[in-house]
Amino acid sequence: MNRAIRRVGYVVVALLLIIVGQLTYLQVIDSSKLANDPRNSRIFLRNFNRPRGKIISADGEVLALSTRTNDEYGYQRTYPQGSLFAHTVGYQSVIIGSAGVERSYDNDLTGRTLANNPLRYPSLLRGGTQVGDVVLSLRADIQRAAKDALAGQRGSVTVIDPSTGAIIAMYTNPSFDPQPLASHNSSAVQKYYSALSADPLNPALPRAYREIYPPGSTFKVVTTSAALATGKATPESVYPPDRSYTPPQTDNAINNFGNKPCGGTLPEAFRQSCNAVFARLGVEMGEEFVPELEGFGFNSAPEIDMSPGAAVSVGPQIGSFKNDKPSFALAGIGQGPVASTPLQMALVAAGIANKGIIMKPHVGEKVTDREGKVVSRVKPSAWKKATSPDIAATLTEFMLSVVNSGTGTAARIPGIAVAGKTGTAQSPGGPPHAWFIAFAPAEAPRFAISVIIERGGSVGDEATGGRVAAPVAAKVLRALLGVK
């Protein structure tokens, strides 16, 4: 009998030890995970019934702040700039959650980052609620310039500092007003969100970094770099003035724009944007093309400090050349298997501007406490080694010729050397997408830019990158460089 009682006692003690161990694990080891779990209703409500830091542009304009309310939540987010920064700043909603900087910098905005370092930030010890303000690299004046330059056309403008990866502007049209999503009226929020989701123009989509398009001839920057790096071409290479090129394994010819004859030396073919030449190079490079385009960031996504993150820009895959040579020809001209976010094409331009190195893109610049003390700064870091400094210098010369006397003359700015490349990308079922990428000043680059105008914009079927997108880029670059 005593033996049986002892066995029961052992079992009870063992069970108690298991329970104590589990409680210790949950309260100590796993506490942070549980505290940040979005399903934790107490934490969720706590984020709304306390102040939240401001989001501020690089030029000092408040883009998001918390205001007092008289309901159970206590605070509500306010977005003074309306739709101007909706796709980057994002929103914080009691009903549908959060997105953009509001989500990716949540720990800083709520003060959790600072709370973990009370000795480093003594203002915490003096009482009150401490939160962090997030200062962005985005400039409100350039964001407005991008919006004005698009003039209501569907598309996006992205501007990057090539030496640091700091995003200076990233505007998408159409946009939306995030303020109704911040409302505490659940039925009103749901109604507004449903209307956004049902809108065929999809204004809630951050096209600049979440949508992919065929980049068209802007991708010839990548093709040319790859051809030079693999030795399949040199600046002295000469090509016949063909009207088209028919790749192996198909009878479908790839025509030059307007079916015109086009050829000459490699820089001349680049200046004229000869499809026949670059489609041929895509096939001649074959499998060697893939690691070169991946060096520019294709088949991967840049680790941008946004939530959700950037979409993957895609290109041909290793192992696909043998049975699909026509796709490599189309890839050479930025069609077929190639699709890119506008952000990615801005990074291509930035990589050439930065002597072959693509920096990791970011919208955050620094976090400060309520007294203005800097808590943290974003440290620039390299993302990809796209090409060599020598090839980048050669491509800069090629891109200068495009703007000076080629397809991109609409991007010329008096007194400023602009290096660029146009693109007119076929879009199934509609007018072409118009592209332009560039950087300036070419001799000491400060800004890299990409512009896409969907479905030809106001021009429609007659659109080209040089006619539609290049003038938009010129207007934004003028604002950046202070040129009237």
CATH assignment of the domain containing 335: 3.40.710.10
What pLDDT shows up at residue 38? 44
183 domain residue, yes or no: no
Catalytic (active-site) positions: 217
258 domain residue, yes or no: yes
What pTM was estimated for this model as a whole? Answer: 0.90
What pLDDT shows up at residue 370? 85
State both tokens at 215.
């980049």
Start-to-end CA span in the chain (Å) = 99
What pLDDT shows up at residue 10? 65
218 domain residue, yes or no: yes
Q: How many domains does the chain have?
A: 1
443 domain residue, yes or no: yes
303 domain residue, yes or no: yes
pLDDT over 90, % of the chain: 82
Q: Report whether pLDDT(347) > 70.
A: yes
352 domain residue, yes or no: yes
pLDDT over 70, % of the chain: 88
Domain with 407 in it: 213-362+381-481
Average pLDDT over residues 213-231: 99
What pLDDT shows up at residue 208? 98
57 domain residue, yes or no: no
Grade residue 73 by pLDDT with cuts at 50, 70 and 90: confident
147 domain residue, yes or no: no
